Chains A and B, each alone.
Chain A
């Protein structure tokens, strides 16, 4: 594991959590376009002819926001409890194990800021991974191998018990339903990244164990 690995993972979790949580804005879109390596991760989006026809503002208003509303507010349900509970109810209270985990680690979700109804929203869960990664960076810089191991274990557990338990189903649906290349590619990106990150983390943990 290198500091670059950690930083790159931080960038990616920051990017995808933002994409999955609220409508895109100019800053976000410009960030994608500024970095060719990131833009490469949205191949259909990159090739989209509408970039030539409409301004970024118009694209947002006419396409991206409409698609976001469709995918995250109207037709799909981007909450873990919807996928994992028998009754498909969104659990926003203390009976939700995700919230219990946040609470245990003293993390609080500001639902009004995130504009979600429950902290087990996919965007919030991805941002939680992002925050853990920042903690990982601190531990790495402090050469705290116990800390690194602990954080990696939390990340592995969170992916295994939560995100990977349900997000793939949501992301497959999202990819099918998406009307814009941005969200189509975004769904694919998140799915692939989560799977690959899980493998990466497991490998790192095994490495630490061997050492």
Chain B
């Protein structure tokens, strides 16, 4: 090879020199050699072992059979030359490479909603020798190769579970506000689980004892990302309480509202991997979007096969950066863009074939055009509205198409370009790509576009229409399906293991704090309004006068691993209400870490992180049904090695204490113990029976009992466990199989599920996971099939006649996709019963309910901007990542305020400048205050808009707290929150940075917890002062229809003064209350005497059933 190359490269030989003849070099040159070699006289014998010198692949997981004992070489020793050099370490070969014996315990990540699989690698070698459980350590968290959707892979947050587990500032035991101190004073004492449960249990018992209507609204459980499939709901409903509150509204009510109008299902389920065009709205895929790591993987699979990616977002997100087309759109105008696509789809023909672009087969069969075209009264209404010029000639499908052609004709290229501020060439290209995608276009409506804007739900109405017209909503290979077909929701279904043996009854109360009468169409609970509802006594009185029994206080408020103070708008209002003991009588957070909210609670009860708790968790991340099983890895490891708890109903708590993790518990065991021993010890409230074990009603149900029963609802899982010889002698085969595997694929490749034929099996028909009595089946004129729910008198729609078959259909009341949500007429919003968007300024003023509060109409001054605060950062999750050293390090300085280079130049703003961002409401005209942020000019954002993620800007008011009688100080969010100074006076609030994270940690670098994992604390270099708590400045913006908080804000910017530092905030939260009230009073259409139910039956309440009495309402005008 050398010679031939020399021949081909004569240039290298032209200056050929001789190096030896006639030359003597100075000896000094010889001493230059680096000395990388050392000579070893004796090589130790290389022991026989199972290790290869180099792994063959990087996706290295041992087979399942070896998970109970798998020995792996220590990574640090590879640089010593691998096992061929020194062999494997042992007593006889102390210089050999260290080999660690692991037990791999599967679990599910809990850092976001995606439910990716993990394995906890528990170091069991040391424990086997010492028999001391404190030697049991989790050395790393890796993926779970058995997980059908995460496929052994994880994002940064998954691997960070270990740094969260061994966070030096995690809460090690139950804490209680010091007697005599006020909430928020920062004085704490150590307490026991026993004391906390006694005190809280008595309060809950006394609250429930009266049994009146208000008692059923006085206990509230408030979850952030629940990351489990239904258990939290059962906690409340087993008490007969309507008190389950969640963050779902504030993160996604726009999408959920829009999709529910269409299909009765509130989330999409795309088959990314087989699609040809991935058309994303807002930030997704590579940006930590919903179901981030799994979706990103499937999108990568599709792109590998040639799929194109379009990202529609005013900000050039990571996804947009790698997309084939970036569509920087003015936020809140997405509906106009979708209707532009609709116009061209319905009014143009394919020039190659001369055929319509419309997929008539799908539209004719699966869209409720028949209801629309036959509703003459409504057609007359839309003629009067000016949507169409005249009534259709007839009632055929063709007449329906003619209406579409007329109604959407105004959404021209010229209109869309002007309204969306997107250049016409980009819009044309988008249309071409959309058409080229055929029926294999996928999307996920989520985040900024749908939740940032008033009327964001209409984006979804319009977007689905464009997709449906092309046949992309069929749930087929490569297009978009419905969430409900792809999920397994059974975490609350352990009823058979309880003394009662059945599901608790329907709840007989309607809590106005959860579903207020002002927003009867609200999707999920507008939980961000809780402090406003509690504080606004005039509102309470108004509705009391109208005949509602509105709660004025909450007896027991239970945030669950949730931080409402920090993540919701108008944070000072939250603090104000949390501090008031007349509004929230007793509060406790089930939380593994400190948070801004915990600071104002009465108790902090440390429940576990991802690897420290049991949950069943399933999400629709692909067209399949899978479930994951989260587990406390140390407990499982101990039990597998023969350890037995003293009290099997408290095994997780005991295991964590034994293993030195702290007094860390989990919710399932906690609540079962609470109800059986403390809330309802004598069973008089009727609650105990739902939590006492069927095997022994004197004690709470245990984890194996609960999950054996819950997994019985998963047919193939149950069958596989019962057939597996490994579990032949087990009392709990379902539980044990899932304990070993951690993930289960129940059904794969679920396509066009709405076309599944319903089967009559022994007089029972199963549809949408409900059982119906086949003998009661009736068919409506529109083909909808109804029947009685088995074992009850309730009649429900269960299917649809399709040809000569009865098929499942969609979840809507017509069992079709509803272009026309006819029920909107009765609920006072007829103008928005179909996908629509105003075309003129006059129309925008009239249809203000679906026009964004930051529409460019509102940008009057040269320094006015539309601010997008809601894009995720890939390595942060609102509350939970703050205690991860690893995640905090990689997320530093990544959260400036993005401003277009042209705007920055115009306003003389330079990179790194501190700018003052003042928020003004466009409904009331009131100013909310300002925050100070660091500007970074960029070409990656649409001029006139700004972006600054609200995922940064954590704060604390003390670096550490002292616990009387406990020699160590407890650090407070040492890795992720700088120290601030706060003032608040019931009207104005301020926050000013006082000390950075690095300096705060240096003061206590010898943190006492988990020293082995935190030897590098003195290497912490970040001060964390790159974000502001902008949520506190932002007022609540309730969407009059979806109830969503419209997150985007109209702001004006200017250079910060010398008195300001990045991180400063100033809030007029008195004004913020008025902003909320203005949105409510000027825009909403509340319940009145014409209503007989609390909300449309078409908009179900998640997740539990309420009685008809609870649903009914009689408002006095």
Q: Please report A residues at the B interface, Cβ cutoff 8 Å.
A: 4-5, 7-15, 17-18, 21-22, 27-28, 31, 34-35, 37-38, 41, 91-95, 99, 102-103, 106-114, 116, 119, 123-124, 127-128, 130-131, 164-165, 168, 172, 188, 191-193, 195-198, 200
Contacts of B25 in A (CB 8 A): 7-8, 11-12, 35, 37-38
Across the interface, do B32 and A18 meet the contact criterion of CB distance under 8 Å? yes
Q: In the complex, are the beta carbons of A18 and B37 less than 8 A apart?
A: no
* Chain A residues with CB under 8 A of B6: 195
List of A residues within 8 angstroms of B19 by Cβ = 8-9, 12, 192-193, 196-197
Whether B16 lies near A21 (C-beta < 8 A) is: no
Could you write out 11 A-B pairs with CB less than 8 Å apart? Answer: A5-B20, A7-B25, A11-B25, A35-B29, A94-B85, A99-B81, A108-B37, A109-B81, A119-B81, A127-B34, A197-B19
A127 touches B36 (CB 8 A): yes
Contact for A165 among B1, B32, B36, B78, CB less than 8 A? B1
Contact across chains for A168 and B36 when beta carbons are under 8 A apart:
no
Q: Please report the C-alpha to C-alpha distance between residue A57 and residue B753 in the assembled complex, in whole angstroms.
A: 72
Which residues does chain A contribute within 8 Å of B729, judged by CB atoms?
none
Which residue of the partner chain, among A95, A107, A196, contacts B37 with CB atoms under 8 Å?
Answer: A107
Report the minimal beta-carbon distance from B646 to chain A, rounded to whole angstroms.
Answer: 48
Contact A8 B32 (CB under 8 A): no
A127 to B9, CA, bound (A): 27
- Answer whether A192 and B12 are a contact pair too, CB < 8 Å, given A110-B38, A130-B33, A200-B20: yes
User: Is there a chain A Cβ closer than 8 Å to B84's Cβ?
Assistant: yes
Q: Given A34-B28, A172-B12, 13 other A-B contacts at CB below 8 A?
A: A5-B20, A11-B27, A17-B33, A18-B34, A35-B25, A35-B26, A37-B24, A109-B81, A114-B36, A123-B36, A131-B37, A164-B2, A193-B19
Cα A71 to Cα B649 in complex, Å, equals 62
Q: Considering residues B9, B20, B40, which has the most beta carbons from chain A within 10 angstroms of its beta carbon?
A: B20
Contact B36 A124 (CB under 8 A): yes
| B41 surroundings in chain A (CB, below 8 A) | 106
Q: Judge whether B43 is part of the interface by a CB distance below 8 angstroms.
A: yes
Say whether B50 faces chain A, with CB atoms less than 8 Å apart. Answer: no
Q: Known contacts A92-B54, A107-B37: does B9 contact A196 (CB below 8 Å)?
A: no
Interface residues on B, range: 35 or more
Chain A nearest CB, measured from B403 CB (Å): 61
A103 lies within 8 A of B16 (CB): no
Listed residue (B27, B30, B83) with the most chain A CB atoms within 10 angstroms of its CB: B30
Verify B16–A113 contact, CB threshold 8 A: no
- Are B84 and A93 in contact, CB atoms less than 8 angstroms apart? yes
Contact B43 A172 (CB under 8 A): no
Interface status of B762 (Cβ within 8 A of chain A): no
**What 0/1 pattern do residues 1 to 29 of B give for CB contact below 8 A with A?**
11001100100100111111001111111
> Which residues from A are CB-within-8-Å of B923?
none
**Is the CB–CB distance between B34 and A113 below 8 Å?**
yes
A14: B residues at CB distance < 8 A: 29-33
Distance to closest chain A CB from B666 (angstroms): 42
From B46, which residue of chain A is reached at the shortest CB distance? A94
CB of B79 closer than 8 Å to a CB of A: yes
- Closest 6 A/B residue pairs (Cβ): A94-B84, A94-B53, A114-B36, A93-B53, A11-B29, A93-B54
- Max count, chain A CB within 10 A of own CB: residue among B19, B24, B28, B78: B19
Interface centre among B34, B35, B78, B83 (most CB of A within 10 A): B34
The 8 Å CB contact of B29, one of A38, A106, A113, A128, is A38
The distance from the CB of B26 to the nearest CB of chain A, in whole angstroms, is: 4
Please determine whether A192 and B16 come into contact, CB atoms closer than 8 angstroms: yes
Complex: how many Å from CA A197 to CA B43? 32
The residues of B with any CB-CB pair to A shorter than 8 Å are: 1-2, 5-6, 9, 12, 15-20, 23-41, 43, 53-54, 78-79, 81-85
Question: In the complex, what residue of chain A is closest to B23 when comparing beta carbons?
Answer: A37
CB <8 Å contact, B37 and A35: no
User: Which chain B residues lie closer than 8 Å to A106 at the CB level?
Assistant: 39-41, 43
Knowing A14-B33, A92-B78 touch, does A34 contact B26 (C-beta < 8 A)?
A: yes
A9 to B23, CA, bound (A): 11
Bound Cα distance A34, B43 (Å):
41
User: In the assembly, what is the distance between CA of A14 and CA of B31, in Å?
Assistant: 7
Check if A108 sits within 8 Å of B38, measured CB to CB: yes
CB pair B37–A31 under 8 Å, yes or no, is: no
Residue from B17, B32, B33 within 8 A of A192 (CB atoms): B17
- Select from chain A the residue with minimum beta-carbon distance to B40: A108
| Contact across chains for B36 and A21 when beta carbons are under 8 A apart | yes
Bound: A202/B1004 CA distance, A: 67
Q: How far is the CA of A130 from the CA of B31 in the complex (A)?
A: 11
CA of A166 to CA of B82, assembled, Å: 24
Asked if A8 and B38 make an inter-chain contact with CB atoms under 8 angstroms apart, the answer reads no
Q: How far is the CA of A162 from the CA of B580 in the complex (A)?
A: 78
Given A103-B43, A192-B16, A11 and B37 contact (CB-CB distance below 8 Å): no
| Distance of A95 Cα from B82 Cα, bound (Å) | 10
Contact B36 A110 (CB under 8 A): yes
CA distance A92 to B43 in the complex (A): 19
* Given known contacts A35-B28, A91-B54, A193-B19, A18 and B33 CB-to-CB distance under 8 angstroms: yes
- On whether the beta carbons of B36 and A113 are closer than 8 Å, the reply is yes
The answer for the CA separation of A65 and B84 in the assembled complex, in Å, is: 35
Are B39 and A108 in contact, with the CB atoms below 8 A?
yes
Q: For residue B34, which residues in chain A have a CB less than 8 angstroms away from its CB?
A: 17-18, 21-22, 113-114, 123, 127
- Bound CA–CA A128/B38 (angstroms): 11
A20 to B582, CA, bound (A): 75
Q: In this complex, which of A5, A34, A92 has the most chain B Cβ atoms within 10 angstroms of its Cβ?
A: A92
B73 vs chain A, min Cβ distance (A):
11
Cβ A38 vs Cβ B26 within 8 A: yes
Query: Contacts of B43 on A, CB cut-off 8 Å?
Result: 103, 106
- When chains A and B are docked, how far (Å) is the Cα of A57 from the Cα of B965? 59
Q: Tell me which residues across on chain B come within 8 A of A21, comparing CB atoms.
A: 34, 36
Complex Cα gap A123–B35 (Å): 11
Residues of B within 8 A of A38 (CB): 25-26, 29
Q: Which residues of chain B have C-beta atoms less than 8 A from A110's C-beta?
A: 36-38
Q: With A94-B84, A165-B1 given, is the CB distance from A112 to B79 under 8 Å? A: yes
**Residue among A28, A91, A103, A168 making CB contact with B32, cutoff 8 Å:** A28
